Structure formats: C-alpha cells, structure tokens
Chains A and B, each alone.
Chain A
Amino acid sequence: MKPFAYLRPDTVDEAVRARAAHPGAAFLGGGTNLVDLMKLGACAPDLLIDVGRLPLDRIEELPDGGLRIGATVRNSDLAAAPVVQERYPVLSQALLAGASGQLRNAATTGGNLLQRTRCAYFQDVSTPCNKREPGSGCPAVEGVHRDLAVLGHSAHCVATHPSDLAVALAALDAAVEATGPDGARTVPVTALHRLPGEHPERDTVLEPGELITAVRLPPPPPLAHGRYRKARDRASYAFALVSVAALLEVRDGVVHHAALAYGGLAHRPWRATAAEEALRGAPATADTFGRAADAELSAARPLRDNGFKVPLARRLTVSVLGALAARHR
C-alpha cells in the first residue's frame, strides 16, 4: 500500500477543486470498498479527498412528491428512513439485502453506486485484469467466473456490478446529481454505469473529478407495488447471484405499469426494458411474466460456469411479479 495524502474538505466546491488539482486523487465515501482496494493495491490514489462528511446527509421530500437523497446518507439510515420504507419499499429492501449491518452503517449512497466489481482477478494485482490494467487481459473468461456476467459483457471484461442499491434505483427511474469542474449535471441511474466494451476500466459515464452529490427519485408510481429479491449463497453478507427489483401496477388483470431491473447479471444494474415492453398491456399472469423474462434474457450469453443465472433470473422474475400482481387482487 503506497503512502497517500488525506484531505477533508468542508464544501462540495472545495472537494471538486481539490480533485481537479490532483489527477491522482480519489473521493472517499464510507471507505468500505476503496480502502480494501487500496490495501490490495488494486487502487493507489495519492490523495484521498474525504467527502463522507460533506453536508450532503439529508433526505428531502421534493415538491413534486419525489425524494432527494444526499450522497453521504448512510445506507443504514436510508434503509430505515420512514419515507423510504413507506413510499419506496423496494429501495429499503435492496439496501437491507446488501452487505452487513456494520458495512451499511459506514457505506454512503454515492459510494455504494461507485463501488467496484468483486471479480477475483480485479482484486488480485498478481493477475491480469483489463479493468485494473487496460490491455493486460481477462483471465475470468476462461478462469473462475461463476459469479460474473451473462449480459452485456465483452471479450475484455465479464465483471458484474455488485450494488443492490443501484438495482432498486434503476427500477425507480432515479437520477444522480453530480458536480464537476464544469458544473452540475443530472444523469439517470440507468445511464450512469457503462457496459465494459473495449474500455472496462471505465465503470461509469462520470468524468474524472465529478462528484455525486445526491440521488433524486421521482414520485413513486402511485398504485404500483414494489419488491426487491436477491438470491445468494448465504443468508446474509453475500453478493447477489441474481437479484431483481420490480414495480408493478395491475389494473383489471392487465399490467398497467411495470419496471424491472436485475443485479448480478451485468457490468451495470440491468434495466429490463424488453421485459417491460412485453409486460405492458398484457394479462398479469405467470405466462406473461415468464415471456417477459425470456424477452430480456434471450440476449444472455452465459460463460462456461454461470449459465444458471439465466433460469435463476427467470424464476425470480416470475415469482416476484406474481407476488406483486397478487397484491392487486
């Protein structure tokens, strides 16, 4: 682990200016992932700009009925916020499905979205990894990849994004507010994370130096029910093999509104637009739900050892949508 400097700015502007002045710097949130990666040598910033205590720790109800979540709101606080539990239960469920109590106490909203893949090769600096060292190769394609991507991967990278929170936010049409040297902008969560393509070293569309300051949620669809479900190897403290975040509104037995996103399948939270298309206006039956999942998952290209994720995603989809539809009866 190489020595690094540490800075704790008081304002967003100060943080962004400091980052702009130090190309080798990194923003530090709760540190639950970045500090691990620094210990492993997988990241080696020479300056840590601690944004974890910036005054971005509020959850505000917006006039339009939406919610603005400050980037430093801790995962455990967000999950426990009554407004979140009441109006965005899928978000609370996703948070509580992630990590452990101790980690959720430390992890921030912004940091959670920007956590890195847990691909074993990315974390092991003695092995090649295109994400860590562009051009060095990807041993996961032939090596150990049970937990890795089946959708949207490339020959250069088959990593998955590990966040549960991001999956729920993708289904909720959330957007992140980011501030950089060129000012502030808003990016939909579904457009925040990239697919690896030829540049797996870039996880997101954020420019170096841009800082997430908040996550903005539109008002929840008024009559939709939501649910997050995660399949995993042990009952707690395990990343998703596959997870699904779903919102469903059924009117007169027909799907009126559906939003669906997957975790554990791709380099980004996977908003299932093809499935949603198949759902809209269709009868709310198990058949429909299965066909919708198939519409999305027909694009899957499993690797040697992770083909199970496709039927697992399908089963989760049918089960979760079925349970949500039942609540409309």
Chain B
Amino acid sequence: MSHDPQPVPPEAPRHPLGAPTARREGRAKVTGAARYAAEHAPPHRVHAWPVPATVARGRITSVDTTDALALPGVHAVLTHENAPRLEPPEDPAVAVLQGPAVPHRGWYVALAVADTLESARAAAEAVRLTYAAEEHDVTLTPDHPGLYLPKEVNGGYPGTRERGDFDAAYAGALVTVDATYTLTALHNHPMEPHAATAWWDGGHLTVHDSTQGSTKARDDLAALFGLDRRDVTVVSEHVGGGFGSKGTLRPQAVLAAMAARVTGRPVTLALPRREMPAVVGHRAPTVQRVRLGAGADGVLTALAHEVVTHTSTVKEFVEQAAVPARVMYTSPHSRTVHRVVALDVPSPSWMRAPGEAPGMYALESAMDELAVLLDLDPVELRLRNEPATEPDTGRPFSSRGLTRALREGADRFGWRPRDPRPGVRRDGDLLLGTGVAAATYPVLIFPSSAEAHAAPDGGFRVRINATDIGTGARTVLGQIAAEALGVPEERVRVEIGRSDLPDAFLAGGSSGTASWGWAVHKACRALREDLSNRQHPLPREGLAVAADTREEIAAGSPYARHAFGAHFAEVQVDTVTGEVRVRRMLGMFAAGRILNPRTARSQFIGGMAMGIGMALTEHSTMDPVVGGFTERDLASYHVPVCADVHTIEAHWLDEGDPHLNPMGSKGIGEIGIVGAAAAVGNAVHHALGVRLRTLPLTPDAVLPHLP
C-alpha cells in the first residue's frame, strides 16, 4: 500500500524548479503599481474609522451619535443598535456590532463612515458611548484558579498526552532539569495593516481584503451575511504580510461590508496600527514548565512539558506549545499538558509557528540546561536523543534531517572548538557566547483545486486561489507549473488572489506551496498529457484542465512528516548596560526540496530575525489597570530593526523525500522562527553564565546578573 504522491518524473527538466527566480510581482511592488486592499478606489468610495471599547469588560449602556452625524461629510455611524444583523459566525471574534457586551478593551463598538478618512476619524472621535464597566481580570498567573484542561489545542491536537509513567521515570532519573520559562504576548504587526474595500452590486458583495486566504474569507462572509457563496467575491491580489493574523476573517472585512450595505457606497477601512493588537490576534503569553530526566549518557528517560496560557472570553484558542515535545526527542515516559484560562483579554490567534515557536523556546532551552549539567556538547546531546520513530505515534519519519542539519550547521558556523565554560569570553566590556537550538515544523497540506489552460499561441495559464502574502507564492507556482508542463517559466501566466478562481487553502501552516503546488502540478500534468495525445491543433479558446487534490490529501500518509532545522547564534552581552545583541546567526534547514532559493532564503532569515525579536526586543505588557496591551505602535513594540540583525545566514540540506507531494517540498514559512529564540537565549547563558528564563532579554532583565 502506498499513499505516496507520484514524484516528478526524471525526464522533467530540473530548471525552472529549484532556480532562484525573481518575484513575478516584484517590479509592480517596488514601483507602487501593485494595489493593496485599501488602495482600491471605486467611484464614490467613502472611508470608515472604527471606535474601540475603552473598558476591559462590561456593557454599553448608551450610544449618542448626534455629534458625529452632525459633522460634515459623515454618512453613517454604525453601532450595535443599528448595524446589520449577522448570522452567528464560526469565529465569534468577527461578530462585531451585534450587541452591547464588551469582552475586552479595544473590542469594536462603533464605526463612522464619511467622505474622507479625516472626517471619518473625526466622527469616530465624536461618538459618545457610556459603559457599565465590570471588574476585569487580564493577568495570567501560573496558579490562576480559572485554569482548566482544554480537550484540544490549536491545530486539533489533544490538549494532554501521557506515554509511559513520567513520574516514576523522572523520580528515577540520574540527572534532572526542572525549569520554567515565561514568554509575554507577541504581536504579528504585518507592514500592511488589516484593510478592506467593500461594495455591493445588487445582491453581490465584493471585498478587496487583506487576507491570507480569500476562499475562506468568501465562505465566512457569505455565511455571516446569509448569502450564497456565489454572491460574494473576495480579492486579495497583494497582501503586505500576515504572519497568521490574516489567516482568519477579521473585523475590517465585516465592518466594511456592513458599512457598504448601509451607505450604498464602496467603503474602505484600514485598521489603525494601534488598534491591531486588540482585534487581529496575538501570540498568547505562556508559562512553560519543562522537566527532563536523563541518564549519564544524556539520553532522555522522562520528559514533561506543561504549558499555562490564556485565551479570551470570546473564544477558546490554546497555543499548542507542548506539541513539539511529542515530536522531537526520544522520551519513553512523557507528559505534555496544556492548561488555559479565559481572561478579559483580546482573543489570541495564530502567529508565525503557533505552538512550535514558544514551545521550542522552552524545550530547547531545557535541553541546553541538560547539556550544561552533563557537561556534554549541546549538539551531541541532541544527536544522542534522535528517536527512531515519532515518539508520540510510533510512525516512521518520512525524512528527518535533524542530525545532518546539526552537523552541517555546526561545521558552517564554526561551532567547534567550543569552550563550554560560561561567562569567560571577553571583548572589552562585552561577554561573548554561542548557542544552538533545534527547530521543527510539521508538514501540513490541504486540499486545493487548480486549472491549467493552454492557448493556441503556445502560452499557458494557471488559475488557483492561492495567496501571495509576500512569500513568493505566485512565482513558485509559476515554476511548478512550468516544470510540470515542461515549458519555460516565462510562458506560464499565474492567476491567484481572487475567490472566483478555483478554491484553494489559505496561506497558513506553511502549507501553501505544498497544497497549491500539488493541485497546480496535477492540473498541468493532466493538461500536458491531453496535449501530447492530441491529434489536432487547439481550438481558438484553447484547452483547460481542472484538477483537485481532495482524494490525495484524504488518503493521508503513514509517515510522520516534519521539517527540521538547527540554529546557531553568537551573542554579545554588554557588561555595562545589559544590552544583548546577536553578532551572527546561522540556520541550517532540512525542509525537503527547496523550490526557489531566493524566496526560500527570505522566508528563513525573516523567521530567524523574528526569533531575534522574540528573544531580545519584542515586549508586550498587559496593563492590569486599564486592561489592554500597552505597546501598540512600532515605536514602542520593538520588532528588530536592521541594526539588530547583523550577519545572518540560512542554508539547507538537499533533502529528497518521496513521501510528501510531487514537488518533494516541505513548508518553510515558519520553521525559521522555531528554535531561533532558544539559540539566542542559550548563547546568552554561554556568554553571561546565568540562565535567564523570561523573554525578552532586555537590559532591565539582564542587568541584575552582570558581573
């Protein structure tokens, strides 16, 4: 029995797949010709500006829009009293303006619509709302009485898994680590804020939306407004980043569509940057306790990863931070548990590598602690804990390149010789250190459909509702099509980013290229077959072939399929100020076949830079007094800037895995951030000689531990 997809036949030319093809829309983007959601200006378009709630919990007791409506150019003010009623949504976070309840600070309570952006903003500020505020609880503590065990965590994984007898194995272990790691909330902050331009044409709703998936956005909007999905078109031709926060329908699309219905005009709404942390999701804060038990050889006998996190009262979203511990290492006795409490906070959601990014920070820091205890090289410790099969399922790995990634990464980085003693390398006032951490991310793949078309002039066209959120998806799909068709890439036009194209999964879970590419490959192969069997010239309208991958995906795989990687970092700790900077960083990835080295490198180093932010600079405070996030602009929420990212390199193994998809690729959008913060944190320990277990490592955190 084999569920494996057919690999690319050997006769196919290696070019163009695997070539560093430049982005197809690169010129349009750098010249400003590319249009983003808020830049579509149909005739008579008006602008909207939202009003966020100013209490952290309570009810709206009165609404007065008189002053707002009296301002010049104002068309409407929507509140829960007059906004169109929506069908109950799958995601309660988009049920905006449907009732007086305020579940968290920043929840949208009104929307002003006016001729200009400025008038809309003035009107929004003139809306008078009163609230009956209730006492709020926004503070996550590891012993919060409201903590409970969720059945499932994000990704559909079970909340709790037990294998063997952890307690006994841990009690009997020769060497143990018991450490707790604490991460603040983190925010996605894509460069393009969440924005939408919507209009109604009779009963048909069209929305230009900044989303990671317009098929799903269309289906969700249709459900909310009680429409047939054929009566909704969602377009997302260019999207300026998402990092997960645009993976689900967001309030901008719903509010713009409501406002367009009420005013009869096209409406543009771009969410203000400062309001994004409250309404577009965030990475939930976590408190993670990791316990490792090992023998003198460093081989793990017991592993427990217990995660405490928060969700909102709006919906349950549980960051699956303990899940990677089910994949990574030999662990005959294992316990992985999530506990969550619903607080009066904004709803957390997906942020680049949900689960893996925070979870691998904790697990890979604990592995480093174990290596130090055993006086064992941390690369060697990981090599000794390579499992023969996936620990949690016993399934064989389709491929597992961690050993090679660690070894080759160590060679390229110059890991050895390494003096393991912490706190001894000096460069003037600076203490220097190096750190390593492993990375993993699952291979996810979802059904998609595509159409391939041949024109009589020798040109080809591929149509699929994929989304390019800056990753290079459009370009790589062109390469996949060209290879499957056996034609030069220039002869293939790629149409993506519209919900009236063949349905496809969203750009999330690092699944895009695999999911879309498979459908594109299948359609192109079938078209090529049809063309080769054809006796007559093509008709004027050409020849189109449609394909979808439902069957192939439903067949599943008997293999455990994951990408792996290894991060190496060198840091400096300023002994005067406690400032930590990354001097150089190297990532070595085992992610199947790399289809475009140019766009892949960008994904890898982008993830690594985001990991530097997670380790060192990105700090979010949940204000216990007013009950909202404090750092809400790019001046105070410190994503790393160029000066924080010095030498950064990404490399990859040439990994052949026949059990993935016809291209042989694994997803690469997220693995770059996984483990990156741990490598930096481990390097800080090596430099400083003190283990700091709360991120980010800003000067105030480091200062008390300086020599």
Contact = CB atoms under 8 A, between A and B. Distances in A.
Contacts of A306: 700
B297 interface: no
Which of A1, A146, A234, A236 is most buried by chain B, counting CB atoms within 10 A of its CB? A234
Q: Is the interface of B mostly helix, strand, loop or mixed?
A: loop
Nearest to B624: A143
Contacts of A236: 641-644
B444 interface: no
B694 interface: no
Contact of B619 (A100, A143, A233): A233
Interface in A224-258: 231-239, 241
B576 A143 contact: no
Interface in A304-322: 306, 308, 311-312, 315-316, 319
A234 B121 contact: no
Nearest to B703: A308
A235 B626 contact: no
Interface in B642-671: 642-644
B579 A319 contact: no
A238 B700 CA distance: 15
B619 A315 contact: no
Contacts of A239: 635
Given A142-B625, A233-B698, A308-B699, A316 B644 contact: no
Nearest to B72: A3
Given A142-B625, A233-B619, A312 B698 contact: no
Nearest to A126: B54
B625 A308 contact: no
A144 interface: yes
A1 B625 contact: no
Nearest to B621: A144
Interface in B607-639: 616-617, 619, 621, 623-626, 630-632, 635-636, 638
A100 B642 CA distance: 11
A120 to B, nearest CB: 5
A41 B630 CA distance: 17
Given A235-B643, A236-B641, A312 B635 contact: no
B625 A143 contact: yes
B578 A312 contact: yes
B644 A234 contact: yes
A11 interface: no
Contacts of A312: 577-578, 699-700, 703
A127 B630 CA distance: 11
A308 B705 CA distance: 12
B624 A233 contact: no
B579 A232 contact: yes
Interface residues of A, number: 34
B125 interface: yes
Contacts of B125: 1-2, 41
Contacts of A40: 274
A143 B626 contact: yes
A134 interface: no
Contacts of A241: 699-700
A231 B643 CA distance: 14
Interface string B363-388: 00000000000000000000000000
A199 interface: no
A1 B121 CA distance: 6
A316 B641 CA distance: 24
B202 interface: no
Which of B274, B579, B624, B704 is most buried by chain A, counting CB atoms within 10 A of its CB? B579
Which of A1, A118, A146, A236 is most buried by chain B, counting CB atoms within 10 A of its CB? A1
A246 to B, nearest CB: 13
Q: Is the interface of A mostly helix, strand, loop or mixed?
A: loop
Nearest to B617: A234
A316 B577 contact: yes
A98 to B, nearest CB: 12
A144 B703 contact: no
B134 interface: no
B122 interface: yes
Contacts of A126: 52, 54, 626
Given A118-B636, A236-B643, A231 B619 contact: no
Nearest to A319: B576
Contacts of A319: 429, 576
Given A1-B125, A139-B625, A143-B623, A231 B641 contact: no
A237 B641 contact: yes
A1 B619 contact: no
Interface string B109-139: 0000000001001100100000000000000
Contact of A120 (B118, B122, B636, B703): B636
Contacts of B122: 1-3
B578 A231 contact: yes
B41 to A, nearest CB: 21
Interface in A74-105: 100
B544 to A, nearest CB: 49
Contacts of A1: 118, 121-122, 125
B576 A118 contact: no
B626 A237 contact: no
B625 A234 contact: no
A315 B577 contact: yes
Contacts of B623: 120, 139, 143-144
Given A143-B624, A143-B625, A312-B699, A233 B577 contact: no
B463 interface: no
Given A312-B703, A319-B429, A3 B118 contact: yes
Contacts of B635: 118, 237-239
Contacts of B118: 1, 3
A231 B696 CA distance: 16
Nearest to A306: B700
B606 interface: no
A319 B706 CA distance: 14
B575 to A, nearest CB: 8
B641 A234 contact: yes
A100 B643 CA distance: 11
Contacts of B631: 120
A144 B706 CA distance: 25
Contacts of A238: 635, 638
Contacts of A118: 635-636
B641 A235 contact: yes
B422 interface: no
Given A40-B274, A139-B625, 16 more contacts: A2-B122, A2-B125, A118-B635, A143-B623, A143-B626, A231-B576, A231-B577, A233-B617, A234-B617, A235-B581, A235-B644, A237-B641, A238-B635, A308-B699, A308-B703, A312-B577
Interface of B: 52, 54, 118, 121-122, 125, 274, 429, 576-579, 581, 616-617, 619, 621, 623-626, 630-632, 635-636, 638, 640-644, 696, 698-700, 703-704, 706
16 contacts: A2-B125, A41-B125, A118-B636, A120-B623, A120-B630, A139-B625, A143-B623, A143-B625, A146-B621, A231-B578, A233-B638, A234-B640, A235-B641, A236-B644, A312-B577, A315-B576
Interface of A: 1-3, 39-41, 100, 118, 120, 124, 126-127, 139, 142-144, 146, 231-239, 241, 306, 308, 311-312, 315-316, 319
